[in-house]
Structure 1
Amino acid sequence: MAIRGVPSSREDMTLEDFKAWLKQFDADGDGRISRNELREALRHRLRGGWFTTWRSGRALRQADKNNSGFLDDSEIENLVAFAQKDLGMKISVW
């Protein structure tokens, strides 16, 4: 079942779908994703899966190239690479 127009975890996502899905978890609306917001996104995506705190920290460290502690639009493709490789998500970037 799709949530707010975003494919379920068993379906492929486009880059735009991924961005829309991730934006749902921008709790403070600042346009950036914090570690806590990313953790909530992973909990939702992995259905409460194990090690979401560890995975979100690892994802942030790999994707946050400017070491700001947040993911902004310029770093989303880094997060996509992590999600595809380490989380098994299917995201088409073109």
Structure 2
Amino acid sequence: MAFKSRNFPCDGCRVMSLEEFKQWLKKFDSDKDGRISRKELSRAIRTTGRHWFSRRRGKEAIDAADTNHDGFIEEDEVEELVEFALKHLRIKIVPF
């Protein structure tokens, strides 16, 4: 499934809506449990071209977004990843 992403030449960010971001993350839910683990998130980070320290970034993302501290990102915590995605993954979430 292809996702529409828009690049803004001024900052080079990949741009997508929150729904597109959620769908993009779902692609990495390898065990289909509806949650994103640190390992799954690290794989997602590698696909953004941010290969360096993807495991550490995965841990940092989980720490930043996992509000219930269970080690996973559930659907209701995805919005917590928005700031992290912009800062570390160069993914900008915008309303369409």
Q: TM-score if structure 2 supplies the norm length?
A: 0.83
Per-residue CA distance 1:9-68 (angstroms, 9 max, x = gap)? 75410001101110000000000000000000001112x621101111001001001000
Query: How far 1:5 moved relative to its partner?
Result: 2.6
Is structure 2 residue 85 aligned with structure 1 residue 63?
A: no
Structure 1 ranges of 4+ moved more than 6 A: none
Alpha-carbon distance, 1:6 to partner? 4.0
Aligned residue for 1:80?
Answer: 82
Name which of 5, 16, 21 aligns with 1:18.
Answer: 21
Q: For 1:87 and 1:11, how far apart are their aligned partners in 2?
A: 9
Q: 1:45 aligns with which of 48, 63, 71?
A: 48
Whether the 8 Å CA contact 1:6–1:21 is kept in 2: the answer is no
Q: 2:48, 2:89 within 8 Å by CA — same for their partners in 1?
A: no
Identity rate of aligned residues, in percent? 44
Task: Output the amino acid matched with 1:5.
Answer: F
User: Over the residues paired in the alignment, what is the CA RMSD in angstroms?
Assistant: 1.9
Greater alpha carbon shift after TM alignment, 32-41 vs 11-20: 11-20
Matched, 1:34 2:37: yes
Unaligned runs of 5+ in 1: none
**Equivalences, count:** 91
Normalised TM-score (structure 1): 0.85
Secondary structure, aligned partner of 2:91: coil
